[in-house]
Amino acid sequence: MPLCAPRVQPTNPNEHYKAVCRALATETCELRAFLQTVYHGETDHLRLKADVETSKLELQKLEFSDWARFWMQVVDELRRGVRLKKLDYARPSMEFQLTPYEALMQDIRNRKYNLRKVMVNGDVPPKVKKDAHALILEFIRSRPPLKKASDRRLPPARWSPTPRENLLESIRDYRKHKKLKQISPRVQNESGEIV
């Protein structure tokens, strides 16, 4: 209290103490969540980057008080403005083999080969003179035009009964086809025999 008194404005000490209590309460909640995470073994979420010498046994030997001290240090550093570093994790490169077509395309993109136009009898054939885009457009135009959606008539949708309707129908059919015999009630006579 004597240490905090000079820093507190004399007009509003209650607000200052409430703010300090709120900060301590949130830190306590965060510490509790952190300890539960550590206790339940969910350290994969924490992604701790430990030294090579640190083993799992050494981590298990740490008491909760040690974890609490570490957590308070982290919170204190963050409050002072220390930023966490991004984890430098590079995925291992996957080994794969290119298909012959992909290998040829990669060589062409890397300009290992120079493509030349094919000459037939000293002239470029007419099919080669056109570029691919023009060939595709010509093919599309040569096809019959599509009908408008409003002109197309779809056949009526097939009606299929729902599983509930199938069940009810099978119950109705069973009652029709299987007539139950009428059983007369059994009555005992005076001697105890069932008639």
Q: Is residue 127 part of a domain?
A: no
Q: Is residue 1 part of a domain?
A: no
Whether residue 51 lies inside any domain: the answer is: yes
- The model's confidence at residue 31, banded by pLDDT at 50, 70 and 90, is confident
Alpha carbons 60 and 45: distance in angstroms, whole number: 16
Pairwise pLDDT comparison (143 vs 42), residue with the higher score: 143
Domain annotation covers residue 53: yes
Domain span holding position 29: 13-80
Q: Is 76 exposed, middle or buried (0-12, 13-18, 19+ CB in 10 A)?
A: exposed
Within-domain flag for 104 = no
In a domain, 73, yes or no: yes
User: Is residue 74 a part of any domain in this protein?
Assistant: yes
Question: For residues 122 and 141, what is the distance between their CA atoms, to the nearest angstrom?
Answer: 31
Q: Which residue in this structure is represented by tokens 């080669």?
A: 128
pTM of the model: 0.23
Tell me if 98 is assigned to some domain: no
Instruction: Say yes or no to pLDDT of 50 above 50.
Output: no
Q: Name the least confident of 69-73, 166-170, 175-179.
A: 175-179
Number of domains in the chain: 1
